[in-house]
Amino acid sequence: MVIDGRRIADEILSRLKKIKPPKKILAAVLVGRNPASESFLKQKEKVARSLGIEFKIHKLQDNVSFEELQRLMNKLGVAESVGGLILQLPLPKNFNRDSAIGLIPRNKDVDALTGFSKILPPAAGVLQEILSHIGFGLDGKRAVVVGRGLLVGKPIADWLNVKVKKLTVFNSSFFDPKILKEADLVVSGVGKAGFIKGDMVKKGAALIDFGYSFSEGKLQGDFDFESCDRVAAYITKTPGGTGPILVAKLMENFFKLASDI
């Protein structure tokens, strides 16, 4: 079964459209020129506007100092008109990522990068939503997360850790084929097109793909879709899988923080 991420996202957005939108701004800060980041922000802006949310992007040059970024983040952080704040990652290499994330007020952190327990990180929320839709219970299951990234691998591993029988986290350069083959659930977010093949996963497994990269002129995920689709019980496709749900869960987080619902 191919999981229809757009349909799931539409269901989340339909729920949000029944709620009065917060009269606050969802602000995003983009440092430098990054085509992928700019594309993601445009998607977020489009969805926000469809929900009646005012979305503002603040762009800084890649040679901006940390102090200048700090001034902007502090200004947005204390502004009563701003209900949510996105620091679009990745940042230019001259920035310390953790120091920059520390500038996000916890009560406006829609990405849950600062560890605010009131909301789930969007990626973990996506996985929760998908598993609920397909009726996939985690009790007694073996799970593998490929990738240790801050936005996908880490929050998903943290969320899964207390829910499954066994959790293993790998990166793209080191993994145990035997453990991967035994997993009932595999979540990947390393950004290597077609990295995981069908003969590497368990028949009947659920495969959730957060990876994205351009290969042969098109956007592809970490799972080699054709070979994995033959063996998986459930699989997401890139594009149209986790991406739309990710944006919808981000908006859901904004509603929770800005409206206190």
Which of 108, 137, 168 lies at the terminal end of a domain, its last residue? 108
- Per residue in 130-171, pLDDT (tens digit) is 999 999 999 999 999 999 999 999 999 999 999 999 999 998
The verdict on 44 and 100 lying in the same domain is: yes
- Per residue in 11-58, pLDDT (tens digit) is 999 999 999 999 999 999 999 988 888 988 999 999 999 999 999 999
Contacts of 199 (CB under 8 A, 6+ apart): 227, 231
The verdict on 192 and 96 lying in the same domain is: no
> Which structural domain range is residue 63 located in?
23-108
Q: What is the pLDDT of residue 118?
A: 82
Pairing of strands 218-220, 213-215: antiparallel
The answer to whether residue 116 scores a pLDDT higher than 80 is no
- CATH code of the domain in which 222 resides: 3.40.50.720
Q: Evaluate whether 102 touches 132 at the Cβ level (below 8 Å).
A: no
Q: Summarize the confidence of residues 235-239 as an average pLDDT.
A: 95
Q: Evaluate whether 84 touches 207 at the Cβ level (below 8 Å).
A: no
Taking phi over 0 as left and psi of -120 to 50 as alpha, with beta for the rest, 206 belongs to: beta
First-to-last C-alpha distance (Å) of the chain: 34
Q: Summarize the confidence of residues 90-115 as an average pLDDT.
A: 94
The answer to whether residue 180 scores a pLDDT higher than 90 is yes
The verdict on 101 and 28 lying in the same domain is: yes
d(CA 182, CA 168): 11
The verdict on 210 and 133 lying in the same domain is: yes
d(CA 84, CA 185): 32
- The total of structural domains in the chain comes to 2
Q: Summarize the confidence of residues 211-240 as an average pLDDT.
A: 91
- CATH code of the domain in which 38 resides: 3.40.50.10860
The verdict on 143 and 238 lying in the same domain is: yes
The verdict on 37 and 83 lying in the same domain is: yes
